[in-house]
Structure 1
Amino acid sequence: MKPWLVRICGLILLLPLLLSAEELSELRIAKPRAMDDPAYLYFSGLLQKALQKTANGRAVPPLVTTIAMAEDRMVRELRAGRIDILWLGGSKERARNLLVVPIPLERGLVGYRQFIIRKSRVAEFDAINTLADLRKFKACQGAQWGDTEILRTAKLPLVTSVNYESLFKLLVAGRCDYYPRGFHQGKIELANRTDTYPELMVYEPLMLYYPFAAYFYVHPRNKQLAQWLQDGLEKMIDDGELLAYMQQHEHTRRAFPLQATVVKRLLVVPNHYLPDFADEKNARYWFQPGDFSLAGD
């Protein structure tokens, strides 16, 4: 193939990446685990609300699902321009390789972890008071999740899988001892699996905390789309709409009011992988430990 033709073909392949936000006819996203998955509905709904909030006459592109894929592949597909946007946990590496909209999508709620455990093991978890105690147990964890390295750095033993549903099965089988889930996640996950896993429960007296949040990511060339999303999310915060959305949506509503669950023991681990722009002390964007009902408060 002649060099000039190679260059033209290359430009054609890059064309979708060079379109401005106003010219995008659709937004391609990865297919969810299930179309009624509450997490997918939360993030896709928030994405559309943020775009609508500051559309200013622009047409909001419809969402079009591609195929289901693990997190690492989603990142590769976004970098290659085969999907347009994704939502994942924040990390320094992802912030270097992608364009991140720097606003936590659940106000950092996902970093407040409570454990799904087998009901027969409550007494063992009642005895956990320190990280050293917790290190005697193995956590079930997604192999490619953004917080997996946080747990490894804290020297917490892990049993991992790339398959989300298999983690429940590993827990039931005794391959791991607990499944740390965001403060809002565990209850709805078990509510949807009561018949399948009746031996599981959310253990509420203990909370593991590390600053962590999910963000929207786009290709570095889609700066206008990123700014549109950021403007919309900022306006939703100003109007109180983001918090109201969290309080009402099926994915997050079981966490509220935050003070309803009394946490007797709080274990804190640092997150050395938090993106440099993140300021977990900023209450405009992040829930603070004091927002929860901690024993002794």
Structure 2
Amino acid sequence: MRYLSCLLVALFCCSTLAKEAKYVRVTDGAHPYVIELIELALSYQSTPYKLQYIKNIPTQSRAIRLLGKDNGIDIFWSVTSFERENIARAIRVPIVKGLLGYRILLIDQSQQHRFSNLSHISQLQSFHYGLRHDWPDHDIFVDNKLSVNAFHALPGALNMLTSKRFDAIPISILELPDILKTYNAFAEQQLLLYYPSAVYFFVDKQDNALYSVLKEGLNKALKDGSFEQLFSRHFAKLVEELSLEQRTLIELRNRSLPPSAPLNNSQLWYKKQNDKS
């Protein structure tokens, strides 16, 4: 009997240890969608995972270099680039389905007529665009032979727009609603600019276990539909409110996107249905 009791205690302890949660460190203050997607990807494992939120992670360039470090984080998410895929290991599933590459122009409302009948990138070349010097689309616009004036802060840029220092400020559709609520700004009504852009999860190159867990979880979520359900819950209303389906799409090339991006997998990307361009 005593042997049986000891055996039961040992089995209980083993069971408890087996179910002890693993902690995964992420930066504090992330968009709820990102956190919910990480939790969804980790939920397919038999071992429970918990997120630990790390404060005071400074810039993105610093954050990616802190992956796997004792004073760092375990998962980083950002627009991919050749440099970032060289520093860290990317799980090549575009977590916002390319939405970050869709841009709507902030313009002076009195100038709407100048934009209303455009349909080709060549017609964009007669305008001057304000882009913050460190935005990734700054170089993309230049590479597409569009005239760019750099600025350092959005409030000043809006004043420059009013004074006609430039004609438009391209803004990501993910950021546009907050900007329109915060500032006295006007969103152009007809156009939707787009360039392929992938936001990935990144992990330390040596962390094969976490890489495999995230990749497997994201693929399972894609297969069973839970990825799409989560994406729609967060972004379907945004797509509707900004009338993306009714806008004229003009596409820009993005040579900074690594060729490893899974552009041919339509399941991974949001695509506007009624392309008028």
State the TM bucket, normalised to the shorter chain. Answer: 0.7 to 0.9
1:40 and 2:27 are equivalent in the alignment: no
Q: 2: CA distance between counterparts of 1:161 and 1:27?
A: 34
Report what 2:269 is aligned to.
286
Aligned partners of 1:67, 1:83: CA distance in 2, in Å?
A: 11
What is the distance in 2 between the residues matched to 1:260 and 1:118? 20
Structure 2: runs of 5+ lacking an equivalent: 1-19
Q: Which whole-Å deviations, capped at 9, do the CAs of 1:169-226 have from their partners, x for residues lacking one?
A: 412432543232334442x224542xxx23x122231121211121111111112112
- Secondary structure of 1:25's aligned partner: strand
For 1:24 and 1:184, locate their aligned partners in 2 and report how far apart those are by CA, in whole Å.
Answer: 32
Pairwise CA distance, 1:27: 0.7
Q: Give 1:122-201 correspondences, 5 Å limit.
A: 122-126=112-116, 128-160=118-150, 166-174=153-161, 176-186=166-176, 188-190=177-179, 192-193=181-182, 197-198=183-184, 200-201=185-186
User: Is the counterpart of residue 28 in structure 1 residue 26 in structure 2?
Assistant: yes
Corresponding residue number in structure 1 for 2:252: 269
Percent identity between the two aligned chains: 25
Cα distance in 2 for residues equivalent to 1:78 and 1:160: 31
* Distance in 1 separating the partners of 2:33 and 2:81: 21
Give the letter for the 1:92 counterpart: F
Report what 1:229 is aligned to: 214
Q: Is the 8 A contact 2:65 2:87 kept in 1?
A: no
Query: Deviations 1:103-155 (Å, cap 9, x if unpaired)?
Result: 00011122222222232321232354433432343434344444443223213
1:9 aligns to what?
Answer: none
Q: Is the 8 A contact 1:115 1:181 kept in 2?
A: yes
Cα distance, 1:282 vs structure 2: 1.5
| Distance of 2:156 and 2:67 partners within structure 1 | 31
* Distance in structure 2 (CA, Å) of the matches to 1:126 and 1:260: 15
Q: Does 1:67 align with 2:56?
A: yes
SS in structure 1 at match of 2:258: coil
Work out whether residues 106 and 169 of structure 2, in 8 Å CA contact, stay in contact via their aligned partners in 1.
Answer: yes
CA RMSD of aligned residues (A): 2.9
Give the conservation status (yes or no) of the 8 Å contact 2:78–2:200. Answer: yes
Larger Rg: 2
Alignment of 1:91-110 (within 5 A): 91-110=81-100
Q: Say if 2:232 is the partner of 1:243.
A: no
Alpha-carbon distance, 1:70 to partner: 3.0
- For 1:277 and 1:71, locate their aligned partners in 2 and report how far apart those are by CA, in whole Å: 22
**1:51: which partner in 2?**
42
SS at match of 1:62: strand
Q: TM-score, normalised by structure 2?
A: 0.78
1:255-275 deviation per Cα after TM superposition (whole angstroms, max 9, x unaligned): 1499763123x3222222222
Deviation for aligned residue 1:161: 5.5
Cα distance in 2 between the residues matched to 1:65 and 1:151: 34
CA contact (8 A) 2:180 2:186 kept: no
8 Å CA contact retained: 2:68, 2:207: no
Q: 1:176 to 1:258 in 2, by over 3 A?
A: closer
How many residues were matched structurally? Answer: 254
Question: TM-score normalized by structure 1?
Answer: 0.73
Hey, what does 1:295 align to over in structure 2?
A: 276
2:35 match: secondary structure: helix
3-state DSSP of counterpart to 1:73: helix
Matched, 1:207 2:192: yes
